[in-house]
């Protein structure tokens, strides 16, 4: 097995789908010895793909298939059929799912070839919330070949997000076929380009926010030469979440006019915005985009130790995150001239129940009857709008039908230039030791509240 790593983000190989049996299909093209389609009893002892066993576990039995495999386990082709009947753990009835259980994306043909294996940090079945870290394990899975319209990215830097501990802890947004693979922020080089892909070549430096490693062009912006892979890995989900929350139409965002669209660059000049959680990765992106849209003052809550850094990227006022909600409202009111200027935009990046309530309370108390928009960076909304004038938006950073055109505009037209010209700057970061082995420890630190530095891992150092 080669050590070349591509850190697959969603492709999950169900190694438990293989089992030892009385009749085993040999490699090098030997067929099923007349047992095709017949039930073969297994002893329940399961092995990995590298052992070249060819039976699919189905309860206490398996169905035989025909396959060909070379000696070094790097090529697989000639699948004749896969049948599982009553088995509840495998995808059935199609050759495209081949030998594996848990494939979330069918392969393009029966004759797939795997050039190598890769390390992947996978999620296993749910346990108690307190044991979320135990769900992670390091595994070996094949590197797929990109089909038509797809590319394969060799990942050189991975940015950690709060989702990396929240998803396994609360068992949300995880594919329910295990082992599953999560992770959003990546940066690396294009390794292979599928047929029909234009404008992307092998060796291109790209970054990406996604749950798969095979993706379309619009999802993989180029990295400018002045941005490193580590810096790029701090950006994808943070910028996407900030951008979607500000510029998506309600109820998915605040519906702001896109920045630098004619006169819209000055549209919000003199308009205040409050950002709860400005030191987070998303918070820093919101601050920079708010500045780009012309907002002033830009008021944020954060630890006072972050004040200088946040003012450098655009914040005009930094309030201590330890203040009570009542004190935050009082301080913002003072900044706005005690009723002279209406507050109509609040972005809650923290998205805890208390900060969600604070976001709505700020608009209730300081919008001067105009109402406004509270963007909440969470799928779980703990508050409701107190009246029709106040709109509460549930914000997602991943590509979705409602923000598809918005992200196309961001990825293909705007972001490269903003990064190249220093209008948007990456987060400060720390590289975790041990490659993928350091991810769980890093996720624990995020659970404990690390905010100033983005945590980055190098899969190739695993």
Residue finishing a domain among 377, 394, 411 = 394
**Choice among 183-187, 271-275, 348-352 with the minimum mean pLDDT:** 183-187
10-20: pLDDT as tens digits: 222 222 222 22
CATH of the domain at 204: 3.90.180.10
DSSP string covering 106-154, please?
Answer: --S-S------EEEEEEE-S---GGGGGGGEEEEEEEPPPP-TT-EEEE
Rounded Cα distance, 122 and 119, in Å: 9
64-109: pLDDT as tens digits: 332 323 333 333 333 333 333 322 222 222 222 222 222 222 222 2
Contact of 457 with 436, CB cutoff 8 Å:
yes
* 191 and 332 assigned to the same domain: no
* 382 and 283 assigned to the same domain: yes
Rounded Cα distance, 389 and 304, in Å: 33
Q: In terms of residue numbers, what domain contains 321?
A: 240-394
- Of 207, 203, 201, give the one whose Cα is nearest residue 227: 207
Contacts of 92 (CB under 8 A, 6+ apart): 82, 83, 84, 85
Is 216 inside a domain boundary? Answer: yes
* 226 and 249 assigned to the same domain: no
Counting the structural domains of the chain, the total is 2
**Mean pLDDT along residues 290-314:** 96
Is 110 inside a domain boundary? Answer: no
CATH of the domain at 247: 3.40.50.720
Residue 113 has pLDDT above 70, yes or no: no
Residue finishing a domain among 373, 394, 415 = 394
* 368 and 257 assigned to the same domain: yes
* 122 and 225 assigned to the same domain: yes
* 295 and 152 assigned to the same domain: no
Tally DSSP H helices, then E strands, for the chain: 10, 19
Is 62 inside a domain boundary? Answer: no
């Amino acid at each position: 097995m080669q050590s070349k790593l591509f850190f697959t983000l969603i492709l999950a190989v169900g190694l438990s789908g293989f089992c030892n049996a009385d009749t085993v299909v040999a490699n090098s093209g030997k067929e099923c010895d007349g047992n095709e389609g017949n039930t073969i009893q297994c002893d329940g002892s399961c092995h990995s793909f590298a052992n070249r066993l060819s039976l699919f576990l189905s309860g206490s039995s398996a169905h035989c298939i025909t396959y060909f495999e070379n000696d070094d386990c790097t090529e697989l082709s000639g699948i004749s059929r896969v049948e599982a009947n009553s088995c509840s753990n495998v995808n059935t009835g199609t050759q495209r799912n081949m030998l594996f259980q848990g494939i979330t994306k069918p392969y393009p043909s029966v004759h797939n070839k795997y050039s190598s294996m890769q390390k992947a940090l996978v999620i296993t079945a749910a346990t108690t919330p307190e044991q979320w870290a135990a769900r992670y394990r390091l595994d070996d899975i094949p590197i797929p070949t990109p089909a038509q319209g797809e590319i394969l990215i060799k990942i050189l830097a991975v940015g950690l997000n709060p989702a990396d501990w929240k998803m396994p802890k609360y068992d949300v947004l995880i594919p329910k076929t295990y082992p599953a693979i999560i992770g959003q922020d990546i940066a690396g080089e294009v390794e292979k380009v599928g047929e029909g892909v234009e404008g992307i070549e092998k060796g291109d430096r790209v970054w990406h926010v996604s749950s798969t490693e095979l993706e379309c062009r619009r999802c993989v912006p180029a990295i400018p030469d002045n941005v490193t892979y580590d810096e790029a890995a701090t950006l994808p989900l943070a910028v996407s979440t900030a951008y979607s929350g500000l510029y998506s139409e309600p109820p998915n965002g605040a519906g702001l006019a896109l920045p630098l669209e004619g006169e819209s660059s000055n549209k919000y000049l003199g308009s205040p915005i409050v950002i709860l959680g400005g030191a987070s990765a998303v918070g820093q992106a919101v601050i920079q985009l708010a500045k780009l849209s012309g907002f002033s003052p830009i008021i944020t809550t954060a630890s006072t130790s972050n004040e200088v850094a946040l003012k450098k990227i655009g914040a005009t006022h930094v309030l201590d995150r330890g203040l009570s909600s009542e004190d935050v409202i009082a301080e913002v009111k003072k900044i706005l001239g005690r009723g002279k200027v209406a507050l109509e935009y609040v972005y809650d990046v923290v998205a805890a129940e208390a900060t969600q309530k604070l976001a709505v309370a700020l608009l209730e108390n300081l919008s001067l009857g105009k109402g406004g928009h509270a963007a909440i960076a969470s799928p779980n909304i703990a508050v409701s709008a107190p009246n029709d004038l106040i709109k509460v938006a549930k914000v997602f950073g991943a590509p979705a039908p409602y923000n598809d055109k918005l992200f196309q505009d961001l990825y293909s037209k705007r972001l490269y230039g903003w990064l190249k010209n220093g209008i948007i700057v990456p987060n400060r970061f720390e590289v975790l030791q041990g490659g993928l082995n350091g991810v769980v420890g890093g996720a624990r630190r995020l659970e404990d509240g690390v905010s100033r530095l983005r945590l980055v891992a190098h899969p190739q150092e695993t």
